[in-house]
Amino acid sequence: MKDIKEMILGGKTAIGIELGSTRIKAVLIGEDNSPIASGSYGWENKYKDNYWTYSLEDVWKGLQESYRALAEETKNKYDVELQTVGAIGFSAMMHGYMAFDEEGELLVPFRTWRNTTTGEAAAELTELFQYNIPQRWSISHLRQAILNKEEHVKDIAYLTTLAGYVHWKLTGEKVLGVGDASGMFPIDINTGDYNKRMIGQFDKLVEGEKYPWNLRSILPKVLSAGESAGVLTEEGAKLLDPTGGLKAGIPLCPPEGDAGTGMVATNSVAVRTGNVSAGTSVFAMIVLERELSKVYPEIDLVTTPDGSLVGMVHCNNCTSDLNAWVNIFKEFMETTGLEANMGKLYDDLYHKALEGDADCGGLLSYCYFSGEPVTGFDEGRPLFVREMNCKFTLANFMRAHLYSSLAALKIGLDILFKEEKVQADEIFGHGGLFKTKGVGQGFLAAAMNTPVSVMETAGEGGAWGIALLASYMLNKVQDETLSRYLNEKVFAGNKGSKMEPEAKDVEGFDAFISRYKACLPVERAAAECMK
């Protein structure tokens, strides 16, 4: 305790704060990169005027509350006021659309990654660039706003992501980590910057609009992991900590997206490694040895925080429907006079799924709270359907919902592994789906037919990942790569618990996916009829 106190007083710690889809989390790490305090704040997106969004007021309230909780825990644990640290990093949900005018005012409400309103633009840009441009990428949102003749476009002075916005307001620097930037616009991995050819193609495409900006002038500067990204200003310190306790002048690392911080938090930045983050959304990141042979609409090409090429399968829906069903069981327990311990309830229901049939016994679920581009849906409706002669048991019911949370992901990953013959030596899982030991992990191993490991630190998530990137910037020695830093100074000796895929589960998941694909028209009918 004395050593930690001296570490804090000496500014030898680092803070990472990540704005996730349901929680904003702050983590304080020590010199050994282990978490020593944390704080969090729950929040939810809102569906307003046909867009999924979060208000800027909620952004700052959440940041202030998560930092306040972190500082309070630090005070309670170590009897020391948190006034300075060695470095800070911010990360957030990738992609989306945050457009600002010359005065720094937001022109339209933040459009998040969850929106599936840019299909026309995404298809047009994919064809133009001959490079997959997903609907949620910032450039798709910009192009769609142009196609929609939105009045605000002419006034854009700066376009960034949520992490880039927070970093800008705290430091005055309009920069972005390369991983997050790769979800705004394609990156040339040879230069570590936006693809020059495609920038030119976009400018030519919109030149008839006579806008006062060109694309490069409104995008953030791209930085790689380890580079300096400015310092906390006096105004920024007060914005994050209104009490005035936090001092200005603290260095900040490049802001990153949650996909990149997940890779860092699972030591998955080296070639032939990968990770799966499973929470409200689910995405897999596989670090590639080579370019893919052709363009796949299901596969995004992004980068690690240090600029290596990554094949990404991103699905908008994962655990939201699953959580809703667990809450139904909670309500049932309370109706019968039983007290519901949510942690135990999740564990019990997840473990019950292990007793189910490998193919879920004829039960089928679609967890589409929103659209799902991987399977071609602009809108979704949560849907449960079963065959008349199915084995309708609680075990199969829970197993079907757990399979469903990974089904769209499996469809995309089958392209990488089966068609492109991509090799992955290790896959790491992290996020809420893996909290119950051995269940989500085993089902993911079956979906991918690949061993999956979960580390003890996986629960720390992206906030820890961005704290590690802040620590890397602060403590790396000359020419020390991010992968080497993580291997030797963070994860040395920590390989996690590994689960091999079981043949019967692999076969069962494949059978479930065949039924899942065949019944997609049922889900489409639900989306069309339930308005």
Whole-number pLDDT of residue 280: 86
| Residue 423 domain-assigned (yes or no) | yes
Cα dist. 509→158, 197, 409 in Å? 45, 42, 12
Whole-number pLDDT of residue 373: 86
Is the same domain home to 111 and 223?
yes
Q: What is the DSSP-derived secondary structure letter of residue 220?
A: P
Where would I find the beta strands (DSSP E) of 271-416? 273-278, 282-287, 300-303, 309-315, 363-366, 383-386
Name 470's Cβ contacts closer than 8 Å, sequence gap at least 6: 14, 15, 16, 86, 87, 88, 89, 252, 253
Q: Are 402 and 439 in contact (CB under 8 A)?
A: yes
Whole-number pLDDT of residue 226: 97
Name 261's Cβ contacts closer than 8 Å, sequence gap at least 6: 16, 18, 91, 305, 461, 462, 463, 464, 465, 466, 469
| Residue 49 domain-assigned (yes or no) | no
Domain boundary among the residues 187, 219, 234 is at 234
Whole-number pLDDT of residue 116: 86
Is the same domain home to 131 and 269?
no
| Residue 115 domain-assigned (yes or no) | yes
CA distance 172 to 225: 19
Closest CA to 138 of 161, 104, 110: 161
Cα dist. 155→107, 135, 162, 211, 496 in Å? 8, 23, 19, 8, 50
Q: Are 61 and 226 in contact (CB under 8 A)?
A: no
How many domains are there within the chain? 3
Q: Are 506 and 449 in contact (CB under 8 A)?
A: yes
First to last CA, the chain: 57
CA distance 338 to 474: 51
Matching residue, tokens 């003890």: 456
CA distance 466 to 264: 8
Closest CA to 219 of 140, 141, 138, 117: 138
Closest CA to 321 of 378, 267, 383, 371: 383
Is the same domain home to 440 and 302?
yes
CA contacts within 13 A on the Cβ side of 418? 10
Matching residue, tokens 């920069």: 175
Is the same domain home to 390 and 523?
yes
Name 442's Cβ contacts closer than 8 Å, sequence gap at least 6: 354, 452, 499, 501, 502, 505
Q: Which domain holds residue 218?
A: 94-234
| Residue 52 domain-assigned (yes or no) | no
Phi, psi of 312 (to 5 degrees): -120, 130
Is the same domain home to 376 and 476?
no
Is the same domain home to 445 and 313?
yes
| Residue 445 domain-assigned (yes or no) | yes
Other C-beta atoms lying within 10 Å of the C-beta of residue 118? 29
| Residue 341 domain-assigned (yes or no) | yes
The CATH number given to whatever domain includes residue 108 is 3.30.420.40
Token pair of 24, please?
Answer: 């904003």
| Residue 79 domain-assigned (yes or no) | no
Pairing of strands 193-194, 35-42: unpaired
Q: Which amino acid is at 335?
A: T
Token pair of 166, please?
Answer: 């927070």
CA distance 70 to 28: 7
Is the same domain home to 443 and 521?
no
Domain boundary among the residues 219, 234, 249 is at 234
Is the same domain home to 102 and 188?
yes
CA angle, 11 then 456 then 480, to 5°: 50
Whole-number pLDDT of residue 459: 58
Q: Which amino acid is at 193?
A: D
Q: Which amino acid is at 257?
A: G
Pairing of strands 46-48, 193-194: unpaired
Segments of the chain with pLDDT less than 70: 457-460, 495
Other C-beta atoms lying within 10 Å of the C-beta of residue 211? 16
Whole-number pLDDT of residue 26: 97
CA distance 340 to 26: 28
Is the same domain home to 303 and 327?
no
Other C-beta atoms lying within 10 Å of the C-beta of residue 398? 26
**Own/partner long-range contacts of 234-240 (Cβ < 8 Å, ≥24 apart):** 236/169, 236/170, 236/171, 236/172, 237/170, 239/60, 239/64, 239/169, 239/170, 240/63, 240/64, 240/67, 240/170
Q: Are 482 and 273 in contact (CB under 8 A)?
A: no
**H/E element, 91:** strand 87-92
Q: What is the DSSP-derived secondary structure letter of residue 226?
A: T
Is the same domain home to 340 and 374?
yes
Is the same domain home to 356 and 488?
no
CA distance 330 to 476: 48
Closest CA to 194 of 166, 214, 173, 165: 214
Is the same domain home to 138 and 209?
yes
Burial 298-319 (b: 16+ CB within 10 A, else e): bbbbbbbbbbbbbbbbbbbbbb
Burial 220-245 (b: 16+ CB within 10 A, else e): bebbbbbeebbbbbeebbebbbeeee
| Residue 205 domain-assigned (yes or no) | yes
